[in-house]
Amino acid sequence: MIIFIRHGQTTSNAKRLLIGRSDPDLTPRGESQARSLRRALGGVAQVWTSPLVRARRTAELALPHLVAEVNGAFIEVDYGRWEGRSVEDVGVEEWRAMRRDHDAAFDGGESLATVDRRVHAALDELLADPNSYLHRSSEHLAIVSHVTPIKSATAWALGVAGSVAWRTRLDNGSMTMIAARDATPSLVHFNLVPRWGEDEEGQRSPSAP
């Protein structure tokens, strides 16, 4: 199985800013979200992570016993000149234009179709390899990534158009699980968030709303 993990909350997430290739730190809440995943990841034997610090830090906190391997296929979309904009400041027509054309690039950045191509290529390799963790029943691969690549992976698992991403919500510190049977991927869980976790001092603390 592949367990996709969206990184914990960052300072930009807390301000509802679009973040792609910029690299803000996790907030204390984001670190708590990452730690709260530990008990759900007991079967993970290998971890991949986006090159960005927020994903690598989440991997360190969620899977402290494993050394993560950086995989650039799972980096967040490049928002170009949309980077750092408030979600609320993006006009309705701007959002509608992006929804209508999956191949349209964010101003100066990537298109969602480009993200699909790199994510799906990496997943196709895992699916084609009978020895990959995607085909194992008791050992799993964790991939710590971002909202756009994980939504892209979800579309891949379901065999549907990438535009389905606009109809889904993915929270910080969430897990999305994909398995395979008879060489066909399937979505097992989407946006699964532990309600409670333990911080480093053993205090029980909420990890997400």
CA dihedral 123, 127, 130, 131 (to 10 degrees): 20
The model's confidence at residue 137, banded by pLDDT at 50, 70 and 90, is confident
Average pLDDT, the chain: 92
The model's confidence at residue 202, banded by pLDDT at 50, 70 and 90, is very low
Q: Is the pLDDT of residue 132 over 80?
A: yes
pLDDT, tens only, 21-56: 999 999 999 999 999 999 999 999 999 999 999 999
pLDDT at site 207: 29
Find residue 202's DSSP bridge partners.
Answer: none
Query: Out of 7, 83, 140, 146, which one is annotated catalytic?
Result: 7
Whether the model pTM is above 0.85: yes
pLDDT, tens only, 2-24: 999 999 999 999 999 999 999 99
Residue (of 189, 196, 195) closest to 2 by Cα position: 189
> Would residue 60 show up in a list of annotated catalytic residues for this protein?
no
CA dist 197 to 153, 193, 208, Å? 26, 10, 10
Provide mean pLDDT across the span 93-116.
Answer: 96
The DSSP output letter for 204 is E
Element (H, E) at 187: strand 184-192
The CA distance from 20 to 35, in Å, is 23
For residue 10, the SS3 value is strand
Q: Is the pLDDT of residue 197 over 70?
A: no
Residue ranges of domains in the chain: 2-206
Provide mean pLDDT across the span 85-98.
Answer: 93
> Would residue 83 show up in a list of annotated catalytic residues for this protein?
no
Q: Which residue has the tokens 């904009």?
A: 85
Cβ proximity of 10 and 26 under 8 Å: yes
DSSP-derived secondary structure for 53-114: HHHHHHHHHH-TTSPPEE-GGGPPP--GGGTT-BGGGS-HHHHHHHHH-TTPBPTTS-BHHH
Provide mean pLDDT across the span 159-164.
Answer: 96
Provide the 10 A C-beta neighbour count for residue 69: 12
Q: Is the pLDDT of residue 199 over 50?
A: no
The CA distance from 165 to 187, in Å, is 14
Query: Out of 31, 76, 83, 110, which one is annotated catalytic?
Result: 76
The model's confidence at residue 131, banded by pLDDT at 50, 70 and 90, is very high
CATH entry 3.50.50.60 includes domain 2-206: no
pLDDT at site 196: 53
The CA distance from 200 to 23, in Å, is 24
Please tell me which residue, 204 or 99, carries the higher pLDDT value: 99
